[in-house]
Structure 1
Amino acid sequence: MTDGFHDALVTRATEDMPEKFFDRFMFNLHPDGDTAPSVILGAGVYPPRNVVDGFVVLTTGTEQRNLRYSTEHSETDGASVGPLRWDTVDDNRTWRIQLGENKTGLELDVLWQARAPYWLGSVDVENTDGNVTSFDHLFQPGRYEGTLTLDGTTTDVGGWYGLRDRSRGVRTMSGGQGLHIWYQAQFPDRTFGFLLVEDRQGGRILLEGAVMHDDGRLDDITDVRHDLVFTAGNDLASGTVEVATAGGATYRIDSDASAGGGYMAGGGYGGHHGKVRGRDHEEFDVYPLDGTVGPKTLDSALTDRCCTFGWNGETGYGIFEFALSRSSSYTYHLTLRR
């Protein structure tokens, strides 16, 4: 783990800044005791390209509504894109997120408050095509206060869980990956958070993360093993992960991923972030949650599924992000033996 992260987005290009430099954030928001609605939203700036883009992915019980927005960064105030506005009220502790009227029917005015220290690492991967990926990666659990309005009905979101993800640098991931997991399970006094990437033979490319305790302790995760159940369409149904930590703890956590939705193609994760699209470019679409849309049918297999988790007799909530390679050379390899 590294330390010291300046939270505000880097918005000005410098002479030594790589052309593919980005600075992005993502927040998720979901109620305790339920998995709908699940909200995932985020934005990114690309100073060398004068681009800022953002997205909203809203999953209800029956459908997923997606909004994608892009514009010239020089035409904004540096802290908004389309209907989405953000403010780093207190560095690495408090953000204000506002979402104005838009085609998803969702509006927000919320404060996100950190409930534990953040985990900050550096993702450095040499890709099979020779390009190098190198970026800072931060994630941190929190809770919300404020209001959510969906299709005209306003709800107080006080106490709802949500995690933020920050990344900054150059990301060019290509080829060779088999399984990707970004795991964020929030329980009453701790959060399990890690990023795991395996190759198509089941070998480990990357593991980083920690158990983030509300009392301020960070216990680095040193090993993750998994036994996951996927549908024929590469969608996650359920599964178990076993997490080992530097402090000598071992946790076995079950997950119920049956809620559906969270397909990140709806947020532009099929390679669309950072593209120059001119001023005020907007896209909106809806995915039915009837089995006709999924990781094999979209331009990205990446899925952020809102899940219920079980550990040590306690119930937790959060996001299980996953993607399986669609290459015919890949078959999922479980690593956890019961």
Structure 2
Amino acid sequence: MLTKADDYPIHQTPEPIAFSGSDRNFYDRYFFNGYSLGGDMFFAAALGVYPHLNIMDAAFAVRIGGRQYNIRGSRHLNMERMDTHVGPIRIEVVEPLKKLRIIVEDNEHGIAADVLFEGRSAPVEEPRSIRRNGPRVIMDITRMTQLGHYSGWIHAGGQEVRLESANVQGVRDRSWGVRHVGARDPQAMVPAQDHQFHWLWVPAQLEDRGFLFYVNEDRHGEAWNYGMVIVHDDGRVEHLPGAEIDVTYQPGTRWPTHGTITTPGGIRVDIEPEARFFMTGIGYLDPEWAHGINKGPLVIGYDEIDPKEVSYVPPHIYTQAFARLKMTLPDGSVQRGFGTFEALSMGPHARLGFKGMHGGQ
């Protein structure tokens, strides 16, 4: 079956672009977040394509002051991967690798947006990441991450927020490959293995540079996927192997309250997270809106989150937080800025003393 994508030079197999190899868990995904520099507004958007499930889903969520507003949608893909819209939500590539647009058209739920992302620097390609559970591949992905600024407007909860590029920044990424999507596999692995995932992600922008830190650790606390990259405004890109992070958590939870990144070369980054954004708002861990679930030809859902009413229980364990950062360089000079502190930890982690699926320290 030929589709619109076949007129673009993007084939990855000898077949038409509608067919993405043979793994039913193949996915292709957009992610965005942005925040005001005072931290009173934070939004995120996502759109995922699951070719072998024939599903596309999307979501947009914004925290304005003390409340988070979430709209999510899912539809049948109909094997047409170039129509990047789900109901009122759509993503437009204005200028590849530089400018993208998020649109949420007016709808009955009162949440709408027209937001333009413009990259501050070129995207950073992370090394391909592969993870197995016994003989089974559970993750095989490539991701590119780009820091930038936003302009436009968002309407939610009866309020309208204007975004100016000088005062609203954030990040976007594109990832694709294999990770679990859709319904659970009815045949579990043998012998049974504990589900464990420990992830920290810190993209941030400072005065004349941006940086990205990320790490996955196993149940013993050993890193199996990690990196730190500094992207200078003059175009230089530094990869800093050996960077480590020390995190303080809110007692009884796995929500970070402070982080310190250090590198062998003497760089130190102090991270102070503030108001949280709950990733369930864009489908992550949400039991009703899990990525790739078949909800029908087109279904739209809406809800709101009051952080004061949220406890550390699923699906609210996965968060991002607006963060203030200070980078101290080896010569003692300091760069300050803003970023995101993302954290998801499930299962045991011996070094941190985490036990069970969600237990804190």
TM-score (structure 1 length as normaliser): 0.84
Q: Offset of 1:12 from its aligned partner?
A: 4.2
Mapped partners of 2:245, 2:30: distance in 1: 27
**Is 2:174 aligned against 1:166?**
yes
Q: Offset of 1:176 from its aligned partner?
A: 5.7
Counterpart mapping for 1:12-51 below 5 A: 12-14=17-19, 16-32=21-37, 34-51=38-55
Mapped partners of 2:9, 2:272: distance in 1: 33
Q: State the Cα RMSD in Å.
A: 2.9
Mapped partners of 2:33, 2:21: distance in 1: 33
Q: 1:147 to 1:63 in 2, by over 3 A?
A: closer
Task: Give the partner amino acid of 2:162.
Answer: T
Q: Offset of 1:315 from its aligned partner?
A: 2.7
Task: Give the partner amino acid of 2:170.
Answer: G
Match of 2:292 among 260, 274, 277: 274
Q: Offset of 1:333 from its aligned partner?
A: 6.8
Contact preservation (8 Å) 1:121, 1:138: yes
101-110 or 313-322: bigger deviation: 101-110
Match of 2:270 among 254, 266, 278: 254
Runs of 5+ consecutive residues of structure 1 not aligned to the other structure:
1-5
Q: Deviations over 1:139-197 (max 9, x none)?
A: 01011222333424241422221211110111149956453111111112211112201
Match of 2:335 among 314, 326, 333: 314
Q: 1:172 to 1:61 in 2, by over 3 A?
A: same
Match of 1:287 among 274, 296, 305: 305
Counterpart mapping for 1:194-205 below 5 A: 194-205=213-224
Mapped partners of 1:216, 1:137: distance in 2: 20
Task: Give the partner amino acid of 2:218.
Answer: D
Counterpart mapping for 1:1-338 below 5 A: 12-14=17-19, 16-32=21-37, 34-74=38-78, 78-102=83-107, 105-132=110-137, 133-150=139-156, 151-159=158-166, 160-172=168-180, 175=194, 177=196, 179-231=198-250, 232-244=252-264, 249-260=265-276, 262-270=277-285, 272-290=290-308, 292-294=309-311, 296-299=312-315, 301-312=317-328, 313-327=334-348, 330=350, 332=352
Give secondary structure in 1 for the equivalent of 2:260.
strand
Mapped partners of 2:161, 2:204: distance in 1: 26
Q: Offset of 1:105 from its aligned partner?
A: 4.2
Contact preservation (8 Å) 2:46, 2:59: yes
Contact preservation (8 Å) 1:117, 1:218: no
Mapped partners of 1:64, 1:9: distance in 2: 39
Structure number with greater Rg is: 2
Runs of 4+ with deviation above 3 angstroms = 6-12, 102-106, 172-178
TM-score (structure 2 length as normaliser): 0.79
Report what 1:3 is aligned to: none
Give secondary structure in 2 for the equivalent of 1:19.
coil
Q: Offset of 1:125 from its aligned partner?
A: 2.5
Q: Deviations over 1:277-330 (max 9, x none)?
A: 11222222222211x424x31236321112111224433111111122244x64
Q: Deviations over 1:49-74 (max 9, x none)?
A: 22110112222332222222100123
Mapped partners of 1:254, 1:93: distance in 2: 29
